[in-house]
Structure 1
Amino acid sequence: MRFSALLVSVAFAFAAPALAQAPKPVDPAALAQAKVFLEKSGSAAVGQQMAGALLNAQKATLEQANPGKTAEINEVIGLMQAEFAKQLPPMIDAIAAVYAQHFTAAELTQVTAFYDSPVGRKMVKEMPQILSESMTVAQTFGQKIAMEVMIKLQPELEKRKLKMNKT
């Protein structure tokens, strides 16, 4: 369940290479059911949430580099948002094809049934907040772990005369 939401967010990051690959043939019934699954699971909404987060980060970067040009930046962000919106349906179609390669139409019907249940609907409702909170937790842990690993392995880097880029 959370996997489908994460899949959409990862797909945004790697959409170009994934869409460039030749699609494998899939069962049309499985493909149709995969699209139903993605809709009911809220994956498209999570994809839009991720696009929004990317656009907000881009806007902040542009504002920092271009003080006093808020109107122009907002225009460009609007154009970017429109482009993201155009790319979402083909991306969802490509992701549906991946699901259709791994699951039969009957299996996808069973998975989709979960999202028709009360707890499934709650999962869809809560997923954006859960994903946001989980990403914050993962980022915090990732930074902490990376720092600890680098400190621990510093003697090994020095022993091998390796340097780390300072950013």
Structure 2
Amino acid sequence: MTGNKPMTFLTRRATTFLAAALTLILSAFVALPAASQEITPEHLAMARKYIDLTDHSGIYEATIVQAGINTYRQLLPQNPEIAEPLNKAIETVISAYKGRKGELFDQMARVYALTFAPEEMQQIVDFYSSPVGQKLSKANAELNSTIQRVMNVFSVNLNTEFFAKVRAELKAQGIDT
């Protein structure tokens, strides 16, 4: 078990480095269009309304659950006797993420607001099947790649943070991992 600790440390350092690198790449990618186009709060709110209307919520919940699964898979082999408290700790941490999908959805809305003018966002929200809605359909492939980058950064950061919180929950129960 002690032999796994250096590998765990290296894995955490690599994950942290990867998260930082992805954050820098994403920041540079998303920030470039912002310099040439100002986004008003109303425009961003309309894009956020589109995100809410198109029910992307499954993405957030699935990512949180996957972080729980990844954490479980990392901790259980090292300490098979802690399966029950580990499950409870993971449930506690998952609960802490409920109601926080807005942070991620705001980032997604920014991607749409950078792509569509405020008037277009209004038309998309009001008339998804209109010609503007079809423009949205054509643009989705490109937008989805940007959203995937946002999700990748979120997932890397979430996995690191989630793992640490589960370990803290276990430590509060007197279990060292």
- TM-score by structure 1 length? 0.48
